[in-house]
Structures are given as structure tokens and as C-alpha cells.
Amino acid sequence: MADPDTVARRWFREVWDEGRESAIDELMASDAVAHGLGGPPMRGPDEFKPFHRTFLNAFGDLEVQILRTVVQDDMVAVHCHVTARHVGEALGGPPTNKPVEFEGMAIIRVVNGKVAEGWNAFDFLTMYQQMGWVKAPVVP
């Protein structure tokens, strides 16, 4: 059975970097819960897939670099650096073709080699600021 670190690394590589929707079914438990991705928790692969499609349709050249992981029992904390280019209308506005670069963290609980629950905190505000959709505040 795969350990939490291996499952998390496969998740970010196969689901996000490679854009393989089939990896969601392989790596996410049928009753998994994903928190913190804008809106109510998503339950199971069928609720997660539309979010995945939307994000991949909005961003090209997507790369999620895992900077570090910390494992405790069935949980892994993952610190990520994300780069991409806004190329699609999937987020509700025209593509800006601007590059984005932001960081985030996820805490993932793994059961029987699959993601059972995930808590996400990604800096989408910085992403929207880089796209020009949200004005950046003046820094003193």
C-alpha cells in the first residue's frame, strides 16, 4: 500500500502536471472530501472532476512543484509552488495570457493508498492579482 507522501506526489504530478482526469479515479477514494477550493466541500471524484476541468481549461503550462512534505501517520502536509499561464475563459473572464505564480499548501489524509480527505489553502488572491482581475493593494 502506498504511503501518504507517495500518494500526494502522484496526485500533484498525475492529476495536475499531466492533467490526467483518470488519475482522479485511481487516487481519490469514492467518498473522499476536498475542502478549501472555493465553495462547499467536494465529495468524491465526480464532484471534484468539474473543478479539475475548469482549472485546466483556464490555465496552460501548469506545473505544481512540491517544495516539501511532512508526513505523520496517515496524513501528509504538502507545500507547493504553482506556475501557469491564464489561457482560457473557464474562470468567467477572457484569457489574459498572463503568467501566474503562487504557493499553497494541502493537508491530505490517505486511506488504503487513496486520498480520503484534503484541506487546501492556495493563494488564489495572488493568482487573480497577477491575471489583473483584482487590484493589488499598495504596500507601505
Question: What is the residue whose three cell numbers read 492533467?
Answer: 19
**Overall fold of domain 4-131:** Nuclear Transport Factor 2; Chain: A, (3.10.450)
Phi and psi torsions of 39, nearest 5°:
110, -175
User: For the whole prediction, is pTM greater than 0.95?
Assistant: no
Q: Specify the residue for cell string 512534505.
A: 69
Q: What whole-number distance in Å separates Cα of residue 58 and Cα of residue 92?
A: 9
DSSP secondary-structure letter at 27? H
Burial of 94 (0-12, 13-18, 19+ CB in 10 A): exposed
Non-local (6+) Cβ contacts of 29 within 8 A are 44, 111, 112, 114, 115, 116
pLDDT by residue for the chain (140 residues), tens digit each? 799 999 999 999 999 999 999 999 999 999 999 999 989 999 999 999 999 999 999 999 999 999 999 999 999 999 999 999 999 998 888 999 999 999 999 999 999 999 999 999 999 999 999 999 999 888 77
Find out whether 31 and 43 touch, Cβ atoms under 8 Å. Answer: yes
